[in-house]
Structure 1
């Protein structure tokens, strides 16, 4: 997200502190996906010394899930501190789904609740800076009609 801009009145780059809400899932509409990615594509697989050809398709819409959020702490565009909330891949499917998200702050690593990641609770000194989403549906076996 663009959190900094040049302010002509100030004559310098300033931080934009506007609160931004975001979701754990993001549907990407077909209209913004490259036309080449909307159609079936031939794919070759190497299989025990031979090859297997198959068609894969792009299922629309693209569904993505958040995998990390990078935060900038501080009011200055020229300095500050960064922390990261990340979906831990080995803890996603445990009995304790709340423990799937972790917060990394320098050498400190701790569990964080999903509602604290997606609750839209920006603080004056901390706002989301980069959002990382991972595609969860897009490619699959050829469809049969």
Structure 2
């Protein structure tokens, strides 16, 4: 996807604190209008202005490696947690303390969550994370996940999503396996399970129920005010 050239400006935030903000954006298309959102990535350095970058996204990539992450909500909270950046030096080769935090600046009509199940190893190989991650049918994006400047502008209905599709990966290998999907069919007012040419009706419980032979990989949510 081609991006427009970056814009840069100085922004005044709470307590008259200024930050330098840069933004890269999508070329506007029907696809970006449905799936496109923005995250705000802020870098903090002592005695310096905050540096913020607004970055577009089509999918939110959620790290699920930690044993503490058992649900989608856990993964979202981990996404916005402030983290230290190691090994950063100034032009004079002095090491400085840097931290970084990501927040959600703009939520799309359709939110796609990518559970990062394929992890690269130091040896250059890739392995699959086989663990159950709980995901709800109705997902509310809490205000704590939002950027400070947009918290008051997002009503609950603009932050609440309903699941309408799940893509699963079957198998234990990162280099092989099989994909299937469950999708909510509006005309049927119910769920369908699609496995190549095989299609069958299932209930909602079967969509969120963990099973040993498959793991959720992509979660598709639609904003409830657009249903």
Select the residue among 7, 12, 17 that pairs with 2:125: 12
Q: TM (normalized to structure 2)?
A: 0.45
Taking structure 1 as the reference length, the TM-score comes to 0.68
Higher relative contact order (CA closer than 8 Å, sequence separation 6+):
1
Q: Structure 2: which 5+ runs fail to align? A: 1-114
1:74-99 deviation per Cα after TM superposition (whole angstroms, max 9, x unaligned): 1111111100000101122xxxxxxx
Contact 1:59–1:137 under 8 Å retained in 2: no
Which structure features the higher share of helix residues?
2
Superposed, 1:7-86 pairs within 5 Å as 7-8=121-122, 11-33=124-146, 35-36=149-150, 38-39=152-153, 58-60=154-156, 62-86=159-183
Partner Cα separation in structure 1 for residue 196 and residue 223 of structure 2: 28
Per-residue CA deviations over 1:7-36 (Å, capped at 9, x if unaligned) read 23x641000001111111101012333545
Flag the structure with higher strand content: 1
Paired with 2:156 and 2:144, the residues of 1 have a C-alpha distance of: 10
Report the Cα offset of residue 72 of structure 1.
0.4
Q: Which runs of 5+ in 1 are unaligned?
A: 40-57, 93-99, 139-145
How big is the alpha-carbon RMSD for the aligned residues of Structure 1 and Structure 2? 2.0
Q: Distance in 2 between matches of 1:7 and 1:112?
A: 37
